[in-house]
Structure formats: C-alpha cells, structure tokens
Amino acid sequence: MPELPEVETVVRGLRPILVGKTIGAITMRAPKSSIVVSPTLKLQQFEKLMTGRKVTGIARRGKNILISLSGHLTLWVHLKMTGHFSWVPKATPIDNHDLLIFDLADTSRHLRFNDYRRFGRLRLFRNDELWQQKGLVELGPEPLEITAEQFVALCHRRPRQIKQALLDQSLIAGIGNIYADESLYYARIHPRRLTTSLARAKLTELHGHIQRILRRAIRLHGTSVDTYTGVNGQTGSFQSYLKAYGNEGEPCERCGAKIVRERIGSRSAHYCPRCQRLH
C-alpha cells in the first residue's frame, strides 16, 4: 500500500494538472463498493455532482488524498493497494481497470483513476461533514510535523510493540511497513521492543530517523516495490536505498548478519537480529 512519501508524490503530481481546472464530465466505471458519498448526497448523482466543479486545491492527510472542489465539496481518495492516477491523451484506449475518468475542460488529456484490484476508495463529502468521517477523524499527527517531545509522549502513553505503534494511524498518520522497518533499522530498535521500554533519547533518535527517511523518500518520489507509480507513470527510486524492508536473507550492511522477516501481529517486519536486539 502506498505510504506517506508515495501519496505525497501523487498529490504533488496532481496539483499542476488539476488545480484551477474545471471538470467537464465524469465517466464512472467503478463498482458501487468503490464509491462512497455523504448521506446527504445521492450515489446516483455522483457524476452530476462532480461535473462543472472547479478544483480549488489538493492536500494529503496521512495516506489520504483530498481534492477540494468548488461548492464546498471534497473528493476523498484512498489508493489502497493498487489504485493510481494517470494523465493521458483522450485518445488513449480505456483500460478495463480505469474506474473513474475525469474529462477536464480546455485540455486534450484525461485524468484516469485505475485500480485493478478495486480496493481503492473514492468518497464525495460536503466539507462540513468531511472531518467527522471514520478514516479521517481518528488520524494521529503527521510524522513530519510532530515534534520529538510529542513523539516521545505518544510512545510512552502505554506499552505496545514499537512496530505496531508506528503502523497505528491513530497514533501517527502515514507510516506503513516500509518506512517503519527502515526507521527502526537505522535506530537499531527491535520491532518487538515495547514503546515504554525505550528511553527518551532512543525515541528522539527514532523520531529523527523517521523524518529524515520520509523526506528523502519524498525527494526520490517514493518506493516502487510493487505496482506504485506517480501520476505520470514515473516509478520511485527509494527502493534502491532500502536497508531492511524486502531484504530477507541479505547481509546487514552494518554487521553482515542476515536480515530476517518475522510476522508481528498481522504484518511482517524486516530487521537485523544482531544490530536490533530485543534484549
């Protein structure tokens, strides 16, 4: 699933394409399960409600994309596993998995939302209802905005395994498997260490690694280890710098021990058993 750097890359790719443009028409080919609208709106009117709206801004919150529209509406997009946007000439043949097609006024190109696994979600809400919705209301702070002191306080709030804590979007929003594994590797923290067992200095160090890694991944347009690409089809390049994630059986660059992969809860964790000791 795309994480903060990948979603931020998509948002930055969408802004010059969409902001200030008017949606001339919408072609909806998505299953009903992929489209959610506010209870005060009607699903049958989705295309009508979108048509003629001007895109006024695009933002990211955690792993969510928020496309602001004129008339106090927001199109809220979650890419899930395989959702992505493409900016293509209108004459480009429609793919079976192109679920939503934006026909923008005064341009010869389409913006298409493609999702072959169809787990992605497109939600349309009134702005005054948006931030009360499950999936947004419970999100924790942004990892690039939270201070070290705030991060330490969150981790020390109650005992839990640090890897699971980093993946909890209600604790901190936007981090997933890739960047949790990489941050813990650099901080030399075992993913099963309890948050309350980690000293303030160690958590402060981890906070610094999280921010440094996320910023570098954004500069490199994210990590392409599966299907992720940016709006123009460009792949990320941070995968060339991964030290732990996906490197099971490979030697640790620091000590030579083999990176292991272990199931923690419902997710996997990659770490060095020598550099990241549990005890």
**Annotation: binding site for DNA:** 97, 117, 158
As a whole number of angstroms, the distance between CA 271 and CA 186 comes to 10
- DSSP readout, 142-201? -TTTS-HHHHHHHHTSS--BHHHHHH-TTTSSS--HHHHHHHHHHHT--TTSBGGGS-HH
Indicate which residue of 3, 8, 182, 205 is catalytic.
Answer: 3
Task: Tell me if 47 sits within 8 A of 118, measured CB to CB.
Answer: no
Indicate which residue of 118, 254, 261, 267 is catalytic.
Answer: 267
As a whole number of angstroms, the distance between CA 113 and CA 124 comes to 15
**Annotation: binding site:** 97, 117, 158
Check if 267 is active-site: yes
The DSSP secondary-structure symbol of 62 reads T
- Please count the other Cβ atoms lying within 10 Å of the Cβ belonging to residue 155: 24
Q: Under DSSP, is residue 71 helix (H, G, I), strand (E, B) or coil?
A: coil
Q: Where are the alpha helices (DSSP H) in the chain?
A: 4-18, 46-50, 127-130, 148-155, 162-167, 177-187, 200-219
**CA-based torsion, 47, 53, 54, 60: positive or negative:** negative
As a whole number of angstroms, the distance between CA 102 and CA 125 comes to 18
Check if 63 is active-site: yes
Indicate which residue of 6, 8, 53, 63 is catalytic.
Answer: 63
Task: Tell me if 220 sits within 8 A of 238, measured CB to CB.
Answer: yes
As a whole number of angstroms, the distance between CA 81 and CA 2 comes to 7
**Cα separations (Å) of 133 from 53, 85, 169, 172, 236?**
22, 24, 14, 17, 31
- Cite the active site residues: 2-3, 63, 267
